[in-house]
């Protein structure tokens, strides 16, 4: 391993934190040093500082894990906690009406980040997790976020290789461009078995105070019992409700004339 010359202390600390992944949530000091590409003595000093501050925690097994202090700081991100708190009551209503998976996501660069999820006990299993990232072109929320993203984001996505998860994943740029146009026309997206062959998602936009799309909400249901036309009004209504909670003018929040969510009994 050869250390990269000229790296700042901050870059080394960030590299250590970036070493953790969903597949590797606990790492030894030597694993951290190797993944961050910094010498072991340097890694030892930086890790000790992170433990003292609370960004990392050392378990009884000697491995390091992300600490609660880092979670506390991360929760202050305005696109995370603030949006989540405003959206959660509507997400819970949508879940009570459908008893299906409800997801909330935002875009970060060329990916999406799930910031909240309500999983139905008997709903179809999903590959997503809160805080997890995913490509924009395959999921319902991703298609919504991409459809309303700046032109340069759309073009970068269309120009890059489009990853395939199932035989139905859209990997042709021309097809994806047409799918995004359909999302903008109808005000909702349908991802039919593009991530797993047993699931279908219906998603709608959430708009901020200036009317721009800042997030997306979706229902993920089993493909064999899905009716996208029936689910779309529910998801769109939820998106409008959250948009109004964010301060979006009523006219800007409305993407189509749909009925509100039924009352929860």
Task: Kindly state the average pLDDT of the residues 199-213.
Answer: 93
Helix (H) or strand (E) holding 202: strand 199-207
Alpha-carbon distance 249 to 251, whole Å?
A: 6
Residue 252 has pLDDT above 80, yes or no: no
Range of lowest pLDDT (79-83, 170-174, 185-189, 227-231): 79-83
pLDDT attached to residue 261: 42
pTM: 0.70
Residue 79 has pLDDT above 90, yes or no: no
The CATH architecture to which 9-73 belongs is: Orthogonal Bundle (1.10)
pLDDT one-digit tens code per residue, 149-172: 999 999 999 999 999 999 999 999
pLDDT attached to residue 265: 34
Domains 9-73 and 78-253 share a fold: no
The CATH architecture to which 78-253 belongs is: 2-Layer Sandwich (3.30)
- Can you give the three-state secondary structure of 207-225, one letter per residue? ECCCCCEEEEEEEEEEHHH
Alpha-carbon distance 177 to 165, whole Å?
A: 19
Confidence of residue 226 (pLDDT cuts 50, 70, 90): confident
Alpha-carbon distance 220 to 125, whole Å?
A: 9
Angstrom distances, CA of residue 237 to CA of 73, 206, 234, 254: 32, 10, 5, 8
The domain locations on the chain are 9-73, 78-253
pLDDT one-digit tens code per residue, 111-142: 998 888 898 777 676 666 777 888 999 999 99
Q: What is the residue-wise DSSP string for 81-120?
A: IIHHHHHHHHHHHHHHHH-SEEEEEEEETTEEEEEEEE--
Q: What is the mean pLDDT of the chain?
A: 86
């Amino acid at each position: 391993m050869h250390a990269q010359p000229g790296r700042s202390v901050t870059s080394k600390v960030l590299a250590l934190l970036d070493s953790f992944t969903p597949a590797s949530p606990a790492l030894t000091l030597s694993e951290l040093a190797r993944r961050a590409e910094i010498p072991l003595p340097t890694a030892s000093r930086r890790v000790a500082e992170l433990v003292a501050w609370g960004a990392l925690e050392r378990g009884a097994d000697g491995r390091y894990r992300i600490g609660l202090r880092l979670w506390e700081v991360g929760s202050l991100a305005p696109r995370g906690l603030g949006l989540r708190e405003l959206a959660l009551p509507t997400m819970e209503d949508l879940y009570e009406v459908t008893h299906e998976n409800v997801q909330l996501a935002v875009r970060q660069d060329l990916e999406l980040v799930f910031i909240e999820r309500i999983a139905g006990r008997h709903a179809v299993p999903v590959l997503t997790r809160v805080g997890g990232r995913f490509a924009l072109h395959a999921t319902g929320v991703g298609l919504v976020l991409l459809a309303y993203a700046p032109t340069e984001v759309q073009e970068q996505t269309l120009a890059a290789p489009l990853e395939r998860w199932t035989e139905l994943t859209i990997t042709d740029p021309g097809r994806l461009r047409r799918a995004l146009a359909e999302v903008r026309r109808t005000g909702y997206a349908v991802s039919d078995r593009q991530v797993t062959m047993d699931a279908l998602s219906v998603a709608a936009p959430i708009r901020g105070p200036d009317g721009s799309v800042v997030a997306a909400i979706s229902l993920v249901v089993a493909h064999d019992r899905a009716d996208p036309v029936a689910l779309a009004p529910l998801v769109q209504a939820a998106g409008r409700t959250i948009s109004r909670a964010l301060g979006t003018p009523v006219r800007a929040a409305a993407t189509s004339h749909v009925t509100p969510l039924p009352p929860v009994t």
